[in-house]
Structure 1
Amino acid sequence: MKTTLERAKEKIHERTVSNLQDLLERTYDAEAGYKKAMELAKDPNYEEFFMKRAANRAVFATELDQEIRNLNETPIESGSTKAALHRGWMDTRAWLSTSTDEAILEECIRGEKASLDTYNEILVDESFNPELRNVLMNQMLQIRRSLDTVKDLKATEEVVNSF
Structure 2
Amino acid sequence: MKYTEKVSNRLNDLLTRTYDAENGYKLAQDKIDNPSIKKFLNERVQQRYNFGHELKDEIANFGQLPEKGGSIKGDLHRTWMNLTATLSGNETERILEEVERGEKASLEEYNAILNDSDMVLPPSTENLLTKQRNAIESALNVSKRYEELVS
After superposition, the C-alpha distances for 1:85-137 in whole angstroms (9 at most, x for unaligned) are 11011111111111000000000010000000000001123411111110110
The answer to whether structure 1 residue 131 and structure 2 residue 124 are counterparts is yes
Partner of 2:16: 25
After superposition, the C-alpha distances for 1:44-78 in whole angstroms (9 at most, x for unaligned) are 22111101001000000000000011111110011
Give the unaligned 5+ runs of structure 1: 1-9, 159-163
Partner of 1:5: none
* 1:71-150 matched pairs, under 5 angstroms: 71-125=62-116, 126-150=119-143
Query: Are 1:105 and 1:150, in contact at CA under 8 Å, matched by a contact in 2?
Result: yes
Query: Are 1:42 and 1:100, in contact at CA under 8 Å, matched by a contact in 2?
Result: no
User: Alignment length, in residue pairs?
Assistant: 149
- Letter of the 1:153 partner, please give it: Y
- Letter of the 1:127 partner, please give it: V
Counterpart-to-counterpart distance in 1, 2:95 and 2:33: 10
The answer to whether structure 1 residue 56 and structure 2 residue 9 are counterparts is no
Runs of 4 or more consecutive aligned structure 1 residues displaced over 6 Å after TM superposition: none
Give the unaligned 5+ runs of structure 2: none
Pick aligned residue for 2:150 from 153, 157, 160: 157
Root mean square deviation of aligned Cα: 1.0
Query: Are 2:15 and 2:67, in contact at CA under 8 Å, matched by a contact in 1?
Result: yes
Counterpart-to-counterpart distance in 1, 2:85 and 2:35: 16
The secondary structure found in structure 2 opposite 1:32 is helix
Name the TM-score, length of structure 1 as normaliser: 0.88
Counterpart-to-counterpart distance in 2, 1:62 and 1:131: 15
Partner of 1:46: 37
Query: Are 1:24 and 1:61, in contact at CA under 8 Å, matched by a contact in 2?
Result: yes
> Percent identical across equivalent pairs?
42
The secondary structure found in structure 2 opposite 1:127 is coil
